[in-house]
Amino acid sequence: MIGKILKYQLRDVIRSRWVIAYVLFFLVLTDILFRFGGDGLRVASSMMNIVLIVIPLASIVLGAFYLYNAREYIELLLCHPVKRHQLFWGMFLGLALPLVAAFSGGVLLPYLYNAASAEAWRAALMLVFTGSMLTVIFVAIAYYIALRFDDRIKGLGLALIICLFFTIIYDGIILFVIYIFSSYPLEKPVLVLSLLNPIDLGRILLLLQFDISALMGLTGAVFREFFGTALGMAISLASLLLWLAVPVIAGFRRFLVKDF
C-alpha cells in the first residue's frame, strides 16, 4: 500500500516545476564550478557551503508547503481503506525521495561528464550523502510543523525561523558564548553545542572527510582534536541519525492521532 501511494506521489512531484528547477540549480552550479575551478575536489568543497545553506532552506519550505497543500488530499485518502501509518510513509517518502534524487542527480551529473578522479568522486559522494541526510531531516521537521500547526502562515513562518536559526543564528550564539566565556576552557561546551545543530554536524562530517583544516572553524577544529578523524566522523554521523529519527518519529506519531 505504501508503494502504491508512493507511486502516484512520485508521478505528481516529478512533474512539478519546482523539482525541475531544483535539479537545474544544482546542475548549473556544479557545472559552472567545474568550468572555473576544474578539479572535482575543489568543486565539492565549494558546493559544500552552498549545500549547507540551500538544502535546509529548500527542504523545510517545500516540505511545509507540500504538506499544507496536500491537506485535502490526505483527508480524501483517509476515507478510503488506507491506514494512517501507510499514508504517512507514502507522503513522507513521496517528497523526500524526489528531493534527494534531484539534488544528487544535479550534483553528480557534472562529475560524470567531467570524468572526475576517484578521490573527487569520494568527496562528491560524501557531499551527496550529507546533503541527502539534511534533506530528509528538514523535510521531517517541516512535516512535524505542518502537522502541529493548522494555520499555514504560522507553520511556514516557524519553518523559516527554524531554518534561519540553524543556518545563521546558531553560529552567532556559539560565537557569543565563546566571546563571553573566553577565559574558560570551552572545548567541551562548544562540542556539545555543535552536536545540537544538524547543519553544523553536516559541515563537520564533510570537513573531516575533505581534510581542509583551514575551513574547519572552531567547532570543526575542536571536534577533530577531541575525537580524531575516525571517531569524529562516527560521532557526527550518529548524531545526524538521531537528528533524523526524532522529527520523523514525532511527525509520525502526530499523524496517527491528528484530527484532519
* Interface positions with another protein (CB under 8 A): 1, 4-5, 8-9, 11-13, 15-16, 69-73, 75-84, 257, 259-260
Cα 207 from Cα 217, distance rounded (Å) = 10
Q: Residue 106 to residues 32, 51, 55, 168, 217: CA-CA distances in angstroms?
A: 12, 12, 13, 25, 28
Please identify, using beta-carbon distances, which residue of 84 and 122 lies nearer to another protein: 84
Angle at CA of residue 34, ends 32 and 36, nearest 5°: 70
Please identify, using beta-carbon distances, which residue of 122 and 258 lies nearer to another protein: 258
Please identify, using beta-carbon distances, which residue of 72 and 183 lies nearer to another protein: 72
Cα 101 from Cα 90, distance rounded (Å) = 16
Please identify, using beta-carbon distances, which residue of 85 and 188 lies nearer to another protein: 85
Please identify, using beta-carbon distances, which residue of 39 and 75 lies nearer to another protein: 75
Q: Which of 186, 234, 176 is nearest to 208 (CA)?
A: 234
Please identify, using beta-carbon distances, which residue of 56 and 90 lies nearer to another protein: 90
Residue 101 C-beta: closest distance to another protein, Å: 16
For residue 175, the 8-state DSSP code is H
Residue 77 C-beta: closest distance to another protein, Å: 7
Cα 221 from Cα 200, distance rounded (Å) = 12
Please, how many CA atoms are within 13 Å of residue 82, restricted to the half-sphere of its CB? Answer: 23
Residue 32 C-beta: closest distance to another protein, Å: 29
Are the beta carbons of 201 and 195 closer than 8 angstroms? Answer: yes
Residue 245 C-beta: closest distance to another protein, Å: 24
Residue 92 C-beta: closest distance to another protein, Å: 15
Residue 78 C-beta: closest distance to another protein, Å: 6
- Look up residue 108 and give its amino acid: L
- Look up residue 103 and give its amino acid: F
For residue 149, the 8-state DSSP code is -
Please identify, using beta-carbon distances, which residue of 72 and 184 lies nearer to another protein: 72
Cβ burial, residue 36 (10 Å; 0-12/13-18/19+): exposed
Are the beta carbons of 155 and 141 closer than 8 angstroms? Answer: no
Q: In what helix (H) or strand (E) does residue 248 lie, and over which residues does it extend?
A: helix 217-257
Residue 95 C-beta: closest distance to another protein, Å: 11
